[in-house]
């Protein structure tokens, strides 16, 4: 049994803060870390090389969710200060995170926004103390303000704010994620066409990414994440079954996809349906999937435990250390990783 601390890989801190488009490169001009669990090997590649790692009959299941504006600055009159507030959701309504680590907030505190609407903090969210239930003075006015003037949630307090086009994707179509479903970002039309040409198929699901800024101490203690809404179409369930019957591999495009598919898996069948999932995946979880394509993750996040369900954590540690030596970058604008069981 590996102690939780062993999941914290000691690779260099290499977050990526700039989209490749701003560096005069294509979205697909990122690196690819390839990990093969069956042979215990890894390779440093270019993302375009993914076409050589997949084979005819493989099915890439992707998330068609699109990010929405869900962050805004507000004014706390009692403290005479502006704070950033990030908005997520639970199964029963909106939850908020006040991005202020210097001051303590209490139930009943109010935060006022540009159009005069305000929210009042209610009780703490039951599972994680950093989130609050909140009531809005004028929900319609607040929603209109957010749509017109809100920001996208970003990693890092001092990261720049980019236009909506940066967060689009060839595969994103259904609005609803409050944090960026970034795994599909390098899948340009050119990459998709090259994969389709050699017989790789794509199948959509919807899973709206929720607030994900949990500390390791939080998710390791709870072994649960914030709920995320998912919808698995019957057509996708049928494509998965058909691909598997013909010997194709089922590969999740993104950690959220892996969580949603694992949630609906029963008797090794990925059933259609919709609902909320808080499932926590680690090395002991049987996902029923043959692989995953995902971004490079901060080694202190729950994502690292999730990908350990596809390959041994020792192999992942070694591969991540090597990727750091080759200048790989993490987070939404960073490089990619593919893990295949065989």
Domain assignments of the chain as residue spans, ordered by start:
4-67+162-340, 71-149
d(CA 55, CA 32): 17
Q: Are 65 and 260 in contact (CB under 8 A)?
A: no
Closest CA to 285 of 302, 269, 308: 308
Token pair 């202020």 is at which residue?
100
d(CA 233, CA 16): 34
Number of H helices, E strands in the chain: 8, 19
d(CA 284, CA 297): 20
What is the per-residue pLDDT across 114-154, written as a single tens digit (0 to 9) for each? 999 999 999 999 888 889 999 999 999 999 999 999 999 98
What are phi and psi for residue 160, nearest 5 degrees? -70, 160
What are phi and psi for residue 84, nearest 5 degrees? -90, 135
d(CA 12, CA 342): 28
For residue 87, what are the β-bridge partners?
A: 96
3-state class (DSSP) for residue 232:
strand
| pLDDT score recorded for residue 223 | 81
Q: Residues of 145-160 as b/e, b for ≥16 C-beta within 10 angstroms? A: bbeeebebbbbeeeee
What is this structure's pTM? 0.93
Q: CA distances (Å), 81 to each of 216, 269, 278, in order?
A: 29, 52, 34
Tokens of 99: 């991005």
| pLDDT score recorded for residue 15 | 66
CATH topology of domain 4-67+162-340: QueA-like (3.40.1780)
Residue 324 CB coordination number (10 Å): 19
d(CA 152, CA 164): 8
What is the per-residue pLDDT across 5-57, written as a single tens digit (0 to 9) for each? 444 444 445 667 789 999 999 999 999 999 999 999 999 999 999 999 999 99
3-state class (DSSP) for residue 84:
strand
pLDDT tens string for the chain (342 positions)? 334 444 444 444 566 778 999 999 999 999 999 999 999 999 999 999 999 999 999 999 999 999 999 999 999 999 999 999 999 999 999 999 999 988 999 999 999 999 999 999 999 998 888 899 999 999 999 999 999 999 999 866 667 888 999 999 999 999 999 999 999 999 999 999 999 999 999 999 999 999 986 666 777 677 888 999 999 999 999 999 999 999 999 999 999 999 999 999 999 999 999 999 999 999 999 999 999 999 998 777 788 889 999 999 999 999 999 998 999 998 889 999 999 999
Closest CA to 246 of 35, 13, 58: 58
d(CA 238, CA 146): 38
| pLDDT score recorded for residue 267 | 95
């Amino acid at each position: 049994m590996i102690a939780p601390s062993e999941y914290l890989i000691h690779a260099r801190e290499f977050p990526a803060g700039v989209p490749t488009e701003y560096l005069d490169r294509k979205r697909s001009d990122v690196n690819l870390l390839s990990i093969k669990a069956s042979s215990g090997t890894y390779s440093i590649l270019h993302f375009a090389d993914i076409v050589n790692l997949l084979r005819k009959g493989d099915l890439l299941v992707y998330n068609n969710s699109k990010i929405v504006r869900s962050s805004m600055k507000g004014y706390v009159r009692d403290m005479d200060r502006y704070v950033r507030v990030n908005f997520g959701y639970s199964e029963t309504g909106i939850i908020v995170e006040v991005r202020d680590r210097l001051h303590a907030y209490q139930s009943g505190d109010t935060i006022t926004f540009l159009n005069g609407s305000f929210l009042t903090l209610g009780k703490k969210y039951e599972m994680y103390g950093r989130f609050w239930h909140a009531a809005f003075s004028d929900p319609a006015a607040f929603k209109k303000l957010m749509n017109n003037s809100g920001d996208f949630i970003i990693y890092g307090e001092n990261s720049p704010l980019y236009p909506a086009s940066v967060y689009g994707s060839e595969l994103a179509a259904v609005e609803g994620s409050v944090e960026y479903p970034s795994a599909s970002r390098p899948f340009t039309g050119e990459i998709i066409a090259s994969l389709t040409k050699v017989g790789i198929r794509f199948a959509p699901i919807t899973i709206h990414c929720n607030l994900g800024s949990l500390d390791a101490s939080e998710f390791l203690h709870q072994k649960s994440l914030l709920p995320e809404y998912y919808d698995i179409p019957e057509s996708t369930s049928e494509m998965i079954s058909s691909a598997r019957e013909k010997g194709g591999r089922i590969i999740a495009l993104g950690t959220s996809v892996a969580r949603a598919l694992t949630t609906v898996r029963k008797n090794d069948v990925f059933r259609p349906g919709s609902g909320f999932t808080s499932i926590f995946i680690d090395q002991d979880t049987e996902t029923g999937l043959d692989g995953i394509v995902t971004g490079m993750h901060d080694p202190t996040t729950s994502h690292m435990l999730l990908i350990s369900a596809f390959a041994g954590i020792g192999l992942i540690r070694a591969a991540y250390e090597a990727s750091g030596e080759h200048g790989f970058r993490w987070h939404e604008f960073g490089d990619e990783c593919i893990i295949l069981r065989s």
